[in-house]
Amino acid sequence: MSILHELNSNLDDVLAENKGGVKVNAEPLSQFVNTKLTAKLNRQLEEPLIVASNCLPSWSEDLARLYPFLFPFETRHLFLQSTSLGYSRSMTRWQNAQSTSDSRHDRYRDERPFLGRLQRQKVRLSRSRILESAIKVMELYGSSASVLEVEYFEEVGTGLGPTLEFYSTVSKEFSKKKTKLWRENESYDNDEYAFGKRGLFPAPMSEDQANDENGQRVLHLYKMLGKFVARSMLDSRIIDISFNPTFFRIGDGSATVTPSLGAVGSVDHDLANSLKLLKQFASAKRAIQEDGTLTAAQKVQAASEIEIAGAHVEDLGLDFTLPGYPHIELQPNGADIHVTIDNVGLYVQQVIEFTLGRGVQKQVDAFRAGFSQVFPYSALKAFTPDELVMLFGRVDEDWSLETLMDSIKADHGYNLDSKSVRNLLQTMSELDAPARRDFLQFVTGSPKLPIGGFKSLTPMFTVVCKPSEAPFTSDDYLPSVMTCVNYLKMPDYSSLEVLRKRLHVAINEGQGAFHLS
């Protein structure tokens, strides 16, 4: 089943060359889930003393780590939180779940001891040097068991809001082109941020580059990025980095399906198409070599006449350097070695291997080393590459009116039938993707929702009525927020249009600082 699951998950690599000629549909991953084992594992994870004392039966750890496809994502996420993030966090999460699910107010509840109380580590940063400050914080406190809380110099804001904003801002800093961490072949020239259609993937580095000063800086950044990502998981913070799923498949020797031409397509679509064309030359040459009816001289003659798309391979003027990176040689003196019909197969093989292997292995290793300083990277084996991408920031969010109605609380002068609340929900449901990010940044401090969407926001997103004082009316006021508790204080506006205008002004003016409202 494990092999079938790997093949099913990576059909692009299994059928890289002849995908068009084979009709194969990937099965949904839910087909592999075993409901009885899932129920059994969930029951084990509901026993806090067994989890906290590391007494889980061996079958549960073996199956969850080696055969994770047997369980749905929610169960594996719970398993990770229960087994990899430490005693204090495990007990805190369990006790929080008890207090929210247990509606009985028995008189002894307040007298119960709090088990595994979490320590808090406060740090104060300069907003103008956010990346350098973040790296310093990760070096000093990244591996600490305490919960990290961030505040900024010359700002009064403290607590959850500034902390969430710190994680989202640093995410953006790591995604900038100026860091030189990522491939930019699919980016827009004048954009500040690196972009990939399937997510960010490391820019390749030669051995010489990795050993020079700039290469060491890049590898250090990858190590700090790994630590930053692990820290966000440890403290349940939302980050906003769109990784390419192939990033999490590099260098994993246990994989049944190794990344190949199909994976190159997810990293650089144009390069993959070019390599497929070159592979046709290699296939045609191999067919001639295997033809037993031809003499050696005839084989040489036939090979020299191979044409694909009206051209000989020599006409393409290629040499043994990495496409898009002419300073990176695929082998010693590669710039002086021309690609011919005799070595085109080797060229394709080396480009794939460098793009997905040698050229990025050091970066991936540095990321994993940084991550493992917080908690073991091996714990992520419970998730597929696509799920890890979702965990670390790229996820489809549900902003439908029905979901918003179910996930938002109206209080202090409002209820869900109030005109202004209805207008707010309608406005939110009609926001486009960039406006959603700005709205969430304004209200919660993070541009992304947690896994589970609005229903998973803690505390619950609450909208309350902001009173007006004469001679002003409600329409004269802007909405304000308390990001630490996801609290929107909104005047009772006279119309939908006024609400939209005032909210737009507040969002644009309220970004990038935490002051008293």
| pTM attached to this predicted model | 0.80
Whether 55 is catalytic is no
Q: In tens digits, what is the pLDDT along the chain, a chain of 517 residues?
A: 888 988 888 888 887 665 555 677 788 888 999 999 999 999 998 887 788 787 889 999 889 888 999 999 999 988 988 888 777 777 777 776 665 555 444 444 445 555 666 788 889 888 888 999 999 999 999 888 888 888 888 777 677 778 888 888 899 899 999 999 999 888 777 788 888 888 899 999 999 999 999 999 999 999 999 999 999 988 888 888 889 999 998 876 666 778 888 889 989 999 999 999 999 899 899 899 888 888 888 888 888 888 888 888 888 889 999 999 999 999 999 899 999 999 999 999 999 999 998 999 999 999 999 999 998 998 888 898 888 888 887 666 788 888 888 888 998 889 989 999 999 999 999 988 888 888 988 888 878 887 777 887 878 899 999 988 888 898 999 998 888 788 899 999 999 999 999 999 988 876 655 554 4
Catalytic residue among 484, 499, 506, 507: 484
pLDDT at 189: 75
Where in the chain are the domains? 2-99, 120-253+361-391, 263-359, 401-509
Q: CB neighbours (10 Å) of residue 291?
A: 11
Q: Name residue 76's amino acid.
A: R
Q: What's the CA gap between 14 and 97, in Å, rounded? A: 43
pLDDT, tens digit (0-9, with 9 covering 90-100), for 184-200:
888 777 788 888 888 89
CATH for the stretch 401-509: 3.30.2410.10
The C-alpha torsion from 495 through 498 and 499 to 502, rounded to 10°, is -160
Of 90, 92, 62, nearest in space to 78 by CA:
90
**Separation between Cα atoms, residue 168 and residue 221, nearest integer Å:** 17
> What region, left, alpha or beta, does residue 512 occupy, with left being phi > 0 and alpha being psi -120 to 50 degrees?
left
Please check whether the two domains, 120-253+361-391 and 401-509, share a CATH topology.
Answer: no
pLDDT given for residue 517 in this prediction: 45
| Residue 220 dihedral angles phi and psi, to the nearest 5° | -65, -40
Position 253 scores a pLDDT of: 63
| Long-range contact pairs involving 207-216 (C-beta distance under 8 Å, separation at least 24) | 209/328, 210/362, 214/180
Among 3.40.50.1820, 3.90.1750.10, 3.30.1240.10, 1.10.4160.10, name the CATH number for the domain at 120-253+361-391. 3.90.1750.10
